[in-house]
Each structure stands twice: as structure tokens, then as C-alpha cells.
Chains A and B, each alone.
Chain A
């Protein structure tokens, strides 16, 4: 929910409506370069530090002191030491960036923006990659930047950090400003209520599943993300036939990784998965799909569909493809029949099955995915953000398809950022926090109950 905010202000994305105002002047930030010229600097989660250079070289890169192509390294070092002293951190500027910790690299990146004259610093989830002690040091650094007269926009979902460091707090939910609060005017529980939203939507009439035998078992599953950071830490659960198991978490707490681990796109570092009592160790996506796993990817445009290929091609692209032919050749009649039943099952509205998938609306595209993934009566359907980018009417239909698959006996593992969706569909809701199971709640639980677990209010206490 917060992920897109920094890109508008620093102009890696651009707003559709609205304006950015700096010093009472409305500005159009057409490029990241323009943002830098306006003295706005962004520290992204992915650090832009070049590992082969020293910290000092990283600091001055692009704006080296000196003249006529000669770099005055002495002046650079003096300036660097002034900078680090001014914010009270100790940095060995001669060290290679690759040999220093993430925390130090992050500090250097922040100081680089200061070095370049940034007055407004935007930090996107900066403590996500830090150990608690390092996070405290970062917060001290940010405080001293503020004391020196700079503006710091600190984007985080860690309530304690926000409450300890912020002078003013803006709460965003689903891309809207919910409220703005002055320091000291609110406590942790109050802030949490704003974040999850306490308006209880009257539950729409819905059917629940009847849980059968245990189909999918995860035990002690751990995994890392693409950057090598631990994202899942000993996750365990059981999914039963004929039920929908909802997975709730604030973005970045391991949902994406868990979905990818279950289907086999991402490897595990520890733990076991089993389907109907058979271990899934050493099985890839292909083998798992053959054993009866289906997958609705959160990234519909790149993983869920091949947008450049036809609807027919998209409907048959699974390991079951070989059943549609003989001796390595597709039988056009069989293929056409299968395409018809996939598109018919999900009531996809389309012109010709040879139209590219990109010609459909988001909701219709997702129907193609759901039709394809459920036509073979999967044992387990992993559905990640199935209604993302789908209009209201389309959402209802996708929910219907999920319930249909559930009633046909599939165990559905539903990942969603929409709490109301989870509450409406799920028989049980598992909440992830920092890659661990924070708790399992009944499907009809309130937003407040789920939200408390999502924000880290476990029995052991707060998240820091």
C-alpha cells in the first residue's frame, strides 16, 4: 500500500492527477534528474551502491570535486569526514563498499544525497533490511538530519519506529490519505486502527467450505528473496480439501515468497512441503503441477499470461499440454475443444480465440487464468492476489470461480492484500508477520483482529 508513494515524489513514476508542490511552487517532476535538481533525494529499498568502488568513491560519484578531469581525493575525503561527523556516524571511507554492511552502505547512500544538496530525503522502508540495533542508529541519523533543517519522509509499516521518530504521521491505505496526525497525539493501538481501517463492512452473503482431508502440508519452511534476505522463517500450515485458507500480511512480510515457494518457482532454505503425504522436495514447477497444483500468479502480465500469445495458446500452456496431442504433435481438434472448455468454464468474453491475450480487459484476462488453472480439478490452487487490477463486477465473478473450485474439492491457498476479500472467502486466515506465522484466525474474524496480527501484535509482544 505504500510501495508506489515514493516513486511519484521522486519521479520514477508520474501522477495521473494532483500535483507536487515544493516551496509553494507547483512542479512537474518529469524525471529523477529533475527531482534531484529540486533537491529531492530518494533512498530505495534496493540500494544504489556500486560494490566495486570504495565508500568515498560511491559518495562523490557523479559530482567529484576537482577540476579539468582530475579528482581532488583529499578534498573529497575532508568533505566526507565533515558529512559523517555532522550526523554523528563513524564511517571508514576508504573501505570497499562490497566489504561493508548493508547498514553502512545505506548511511553512505543517505549522505550521498546530502552531499548532492538534497533538502528532502525520501526513505522507502529503510529499516526492512536492518537489524534492530542498526535500525536504531539509522533513526538517530535521520533525527540529526532533521535537526540540521532537512525534511525526511520516512515510509514504514513498523509502528514503533514511526511513533518514535516522526514529527507528523500520514496514514495511507489503498492509495488514499486516511489521516494526518501530529506527534504525541496518538498511541500505537490508535495508529493501527487507522492503518487497517476499523469500518466493519457488513459481510456479504457467502458460502463457506466444508474442510475435508489435509492435502498440502508446509512445515518449517524458510526462504530468501532475490537479494538473499531471509523472507520466510519456519512457516508451517495445513491446507484441507474443500476449504479456502487465506493468507494475510502487510506487503513485504513474505506472502510473495510463500506463494512462489509453494508452486516451486522459489527454492526453500529449510523445511518441507508435502502434497497428499508425498514430499515435494526436489520437485520443480512442472512436477508439482503434474501432481495437481494450480497457480494464479500475482503478476498477471508476466507470469499469469503470455500477453503476446493468443487466448488459445494461453489456455493450453500447462504441463498437461502433452495430453492434447500424440507423439509430440498437437491435435488441432483436441486443442480447440480444450480451449473452448477453458474459456467457457470461466465465461471469458472474447472475440476470437486467436486474439492476443493483451486484447482483453484485466478481469477477463484473470478469468482466462482461473479457467486454465481450475479446468484440471487441481488438488491445491495457489491464488495470489487474484482480484488485483480487476473491476468490482469482475471481482465477484472471480470469487465465484474460487468458490466453485473449492466446492469441487480443491484446497485453495488465497493470498490477498484486501482484508475484506479474505474475510469473505476464507474458512481460516493465516497471518504472516516478518516471515513467521503470527496466528491463524477463523474466516469471519474482524479487520481489527487480523490487523493486530499483521502489525506484529503477537503474544510475544511488539515487533521491536
Chain B
């Protein structure tokens, strides 16, 4: 009879004053992001600097080069935004579910299957009128992304089966299925590695500023981000998301729609992840191949946590990780820098991001201990 969620929300989002003017809310959000994300980023930079010194590099030179490679010229900014787009999608997807206290790790699987579906449909759009030729593959990606999450959603909302395990397993299943179906049904002729055919030209999401790679996918992501913010604040179910995520037992006792929230959180995250995969296929790589997702689903989790689900924080976090990816790829042209250093930097940011969330708990613990010593 009871459907109390098993997880508390991994981190509590801070309430914002809904009566404050929009500009001030943005300011508050940015300062919060600076506070929460700033510490882990600074620590990560220091750790990175030590690693760089140990490997015989000058940290200042490398960091300076990274900054110019990320934001130095319009074309580099374009590249950064192109790298931002997929992880912006996955971060929104993760934040959507985590707001309800649903700790899905299945966005990766939805992203992959969405990308494959959009690529397959997109390669058959030769005779289809424009716009429809983009919408159809995207629709397929949406459905595919949501489907990946249906079984975990049923298991979670009806029988309280832990979603972390089920969604993680579905990632393996989906990635395996995708690879097998490409090999068996959709293999492009005359390609060295296993991939699908390129999508037809009318199915490509147009670039925002050719020849830069940033596509209309970024606009779709930004619209989704705004939708996420408005929906959480002003919709009935969005309200119930926040209640279930922040006080699960309260939500049960108040007769809120806990099962609906849990199922919607999982399927919704899958849908957003699917659209992300579809946009990535249609906007950037134009086909599905092995290694389609560079762990975008997991980077999205880190960003959502760093931002504490705050929409503006998500945008800033996604740009930050996008910048690291974009700059990391080209900085080696100038400096003899192993690309793994970038992974080290990203990893440290994530680790310390999670550590910073534990800080308030730690402080409480320490205060309690000090009190006991006094008495």
C-alpha cells in the first residue's frame, strides 16, 4: 500500500524566492552556482596543476591555452557550444529525475537508442518534405529514449525496485542491442568502422553559424531547459516532483501522486535523453557509430549535481564541461599534453563536486560532536 521512495533526493535544492524579480533570481542563482561549483573547480585546478607539474608541464601555460582554446575566438566558442549541446540535454534529463529523488543513471542508454533511432529514420528521409524530415527522426528518438526507461519505471513505481540498478543494467542491454542491430540490419556499405548510413541532408539539424558545428540542437536544448524550469515551478505535477524529492514520507501522507511522479521522472528523463541523442545524431555526427556517446549520460549527472538542479547552474556547468572537452581536443596541437589530463581534470571536478555536497552533513556532524564534548 505504501509507496515511499527509497531514496532521499541526493542533494536538496535550495528554495528560491518566487516573488523576487526575474533578474534578481538569476543573480542569486549565479552566485549560488559560484559558491557550490567554485570550490570543486578551484580544487580540481590545483590538483590538475600538481599533475601537470609532475608530468613536466607549466600549469599556467596549459590553463591559459585551455581558456583561449575554449573561448578565445568566435569559432572556438562555436566549438565549445557544440560540445556543450549533448551534455546540456543529459544534464536536464538527470536533473528532471533527481528533483523527484529518482536517481536514474539510464540517460546514457536513452541517449544511445535515441541517436540510433534518429540516424536510422533520418537516413530514409530522401523524399520527405523539409521540417517533417527532421521532426520524424526526432519523434522516433523521443519514443525510443522513453521506451528504454519504461521497464525501470514500472519496477520502481509499483514494486520499489531500486532504479539505480535497473537503469544501469538497461544501459548495458541498450548499448549491446544497438551495436548488434547496427551490425545486423543498419550497417552502412563501404565504411571501415561499424556505423549506420549518414542521414539525408534534409534531416540534418542546420548549423547555427556555418561552418561552425553548433546546430539547432542547442536551441532545442535551451528550450527544454526553460521548459524544465517553468514546469518544475508552475505545474501541478512539477510541484509534486519537488515534494516527493524533498520529503518522500510527507508526500505519501499527503496523498500526492507518488507513483505517477516516480514513473514520470524515469520516463521523462529517458525522453529528454532520447531527444538529446537524436539531436546529437541529426545535428553533429549525422549517423550512429560505435562510441556514439562519450559517456554524455554520466557527465550530465555530474553537471546536474554540481548545479543542484538549478536551470542556470545547469547551463553554466554544461558550458564548463563543454569547454573542457572542446579545448582538450585541440590544445594538444600546441602543447605536448596527454589528452588524459583533461579527463583527470573533469574527474577531479566531479569528485570534489560530490564531496562539497557532503560538507553540510559533515558540518552538522562535527557541530553535534563538539556539543557532546562540551556537556
Q: Which residues of A contact B (CB under 8 A)?
A: 14-17, 28, 30, 263-267, 284-290, 295, 297, 299, 302-310, 312-313, 316-319, 321-322, 324-325, 328-330, 332, 352, 354, 356
Contact = CB atoms under 8 A, between A and B. Distances in A.
A329 B257 CA distance: 15
Contact of A319 (B243, B256, B375): B256
25 contacts: A14-B375, A30-B372, A263-B253, A285-B252, A286-B257, A287-B255, A289-B255, A302-B247, A304-B253, A306-B246, A307-B247, A308-B246, A308-B247, A309-B15, A310-B15, A313-B239, A316-B239, A317-B243, A317-B251, A322-B236, A329-B235, A330-B234, A330-B236, A330-B239, A354-B17
Given A285-B252, A313-B239, A16 B375 contact: yes
B370 to A, nearest CB: 12
A423 to B, nearest CB: 28
B1 A302 contact: no
B42 to A, nearest CB: 28
B11 to A, nearest CB: 11
| From B12, B240, B243, B254, residue with most partner A Cβ within 10 Å | B254
Given A330-B239, A352-B17, A308 B12 contact: yes
Given A302-B249, A303-B249, A319-B255, A354 B234 contact: no
A330 B375 contact: no
Contacts of A319: 254-256
B312 to A, nearest CB: 18
B254 A285 contact: yes
A295 B112 CA distance: 46
A285 B18 contact: no
A328 B230 CA distance: 13
Interface in B162-218: none
A295 B253 contact: yes
Closest 4 CB pairs of A and B: A306-B247, A286-B255, A285-B255, A267-B1
B151 interface: no
Contacts of B235: 325, 328-330
A289 B18 CA distance: 28
Given A309-B15, A330-B236, A354-B17, A317 B250 contact: yes
A304 B255 contact: no
B249 A328 contact: no
A243 B316 CA distance: 58
B250 A304 contact: yes
A354 B28 CA distance: 15
Nearest to B253: A303
Nearest to B17: A354
Contacts of B373: 30
Contacts of A328: 235-237
B336 interface: no
Given A328-B236, A329-B236, A330-B235, A266 B1 contact: yes
B2 interface: yes
A312 B18 CA distance: 10
Contacts of B16: 354
Contact of B2 (A266, A295, A307): A266
Contacts of A352: 17, 19
B308 interface: no
Given A263-B253, A285-B252, A328-B237, A354 B18 contact: yes
Contacts of A308: 12, 15, 246-247
Contacts of A304: 250, 253
Interface residues of B, number: 30
Contacts of B247: 302, 305-309
B242 interface: yes
A214 to B, nearest CB: 24
Contacts of A324: 236
Interface in B10-52: 12, 15-19
Nearest to A310: B15
Given A308-B12, A309-B242, A321 B253 contact: no
Contacts of B234: 329-330, 332
Given A308-B247, A309-B246, A325 B253 contact: no
A267 B1 CA distance: 6
B25 to A, nearest CB: 11
B15 A354 contact: yes
A354 to B, nearest CB: 5
Nearest to A331: B234
A256 to B, nearest CB: 13
B5 to A, nearest CB: 13
A328 B234 CA distance: 9
B19 to A, nearest CB: 6
Contacts of B236: 321-322, 324-325, 328-330
B375 A317 contact: no
B253 A285 contact: yes
B1 A313 contact: no
Given A263-B253, A265-B1, A321-B256, 8 more contacts: A14-B375, A264-B1, A307-B247, A310-B18, A313-B242, A317-B251, A321-B240, A330-B236
Interface in B352-375: 372-373, 375
B31 to A, nearest CB: 18
Contacts of B254: 285, 289, 317-319
A231 to B, nearest CB: 15
Nearest to B13: A308
A289 B257 CA distance: 12
Given A30-B372, A329-B234, A356-B15, A265 B243 contact: no
A14 B18 contact: no
A266 B19 CA distance: 39
A313 B375 contact: no
Contacts of A332: 234
A356 B235 CA distance: 20
A420 to B, nearest CB: 27
Interface in B220-272: 234-237, 239-240, 242-243, 246-247, 249-257
A286 B256 contact: yes
A4 to B, nearest CB: 16
A354 B19 contact: yes
Contacts of B249: 299, 302-303
Contacts of B1: 264-267, 284
Contacts of A356: 15
A37 B234 CA distance: 56
